[in-house]
Amino acid sequence: MTRQNILITGASSGLGKGMAIEFAKLGRNLALCARRVERLTELQTELLAINPNIKVLIKALDVNDHDAVFSVFKEFDAEMGGLDRIIVNAGMGKGASIGTGYFYANKQTAETNFVAALAQCEAAMEIFRAKNAGHLVTISSISAVSSYRRAMTVYAATKAALSSMSEGLRIDLLGTPIKVSTVHPGFIRSEINEKVKKVPFIVDTETGCKAMVKAIEKEGENSYVPTWPWAFLQWFLRIAPKSILKKMS
């Protein structure tokens, strides 16, 4: 099944922008939203240059404005003639070790990566339940399968919560035509980690986003991308000793 009309949140940069480029190459219509509308305007021009036959709509959206999430999703659904796939991608990675004076940064990450993701899932599922069709995609992280220290502590916790919520939604939707997929990217170079120098198995944005889109198109329940090495390493990370996890973060 071809999901022609796709909404992506957090599309102005990083993985959201990278996925939009790959979907444009596939000839999909795109509904893109993010806080930085000027970047969306530039991306819109870039996507139409890649494929002038697609429709690209853009809207400003701060996913922490939960009422706006519902209204923007509904507007896109109406303007696109129906949304076939919604990708919950917007997120952030601010923070530091708990108890070191960075509560508000950690709180912002928790609210953006989970509470705002809940709002996006709610808005998406209202649309999909109404027509009993659609594909919800949540962008989690390889960090969701384990726990980490320092700035990764809260980030990993939010991604684990997102993965768990997505699994619960899949159970809730058993026997219906609505699909829910969770993508767990490994280390992909983007704005969220551009200052981190030593990262194992990291790939560039284009390579990572191609792998993400390929996984999304398969509509599996859980994917770990790029497949090598993350589809295999995720099993090790689940049982790895704390001493090893400490060295990795």
Superfamily of domain 5-248: NAD(P)-binding Rossmann-like Domain (3.40.50.720)
Angle at 113 between CA 96 and CA 202, to 5 degrees: 70
Higher pLDDT, 20 or 246: 20
Cβ density class 183-196: b for 16+ within 10 Å, e for less: bbbbbbbbebeeee
Handedness of CA 179, 182, 185, 191 (dihedral sign): positive
State the Cα–Cα distance between residues 83 and 124, nearest whole angstrom. 9
Residues in a beta bridge with 180: 136
pLDDT of residue 143: 92
Catalytic residue among 102, 104, 148, 155: 155
Q: Where are the domains of the chain?
A: 5-248
Taking the model in full, what pTM does it have?
0.93
- Order of strands across the sheet that contains 29-34: 56-60, 29-34, 5-9, 85-88, 135-139, 179-185, 222-225
The pLDDT value given to residue 150? 86
Whether 155 shows a pLDDT value over 90: the answer reads: yes
Is-contact 178 136, C-beta < 8 A?
yes
Each residue's pLDDT tens digit, 5-49 = 999 999 999 999 999 999 999 999 999 999 999 999 999 999 999
Angle 36-139-52 (CA atoms, 0-180°, nearest 5)? 55
d(CA 47, CA 45): 6
Mention every residue, 6+ apart, whose C-beta is less than 8 A from residue 56: 24, 29, 30, 32, 44, 47, 48
Can you point out the beta strands (E) in 159-236?
179-185, 222-225
Annotated catalytic, 104? no
What residues pair up with 56 in beta bridges, in sequence order? 30
Burial annotation 82-105 (CB, 10 A radius, 16+ → b, else e): ebbbbbbbbbbbbbbeeeeebeeb
Segment 116-120 shows an average pLDDT of 98
Instruction: Give residue-wise pLDDT tens across range 61-114.
Output: 999 999 999 999 999 999 999 999 999 999 999 999 999 999 999 999 999 999
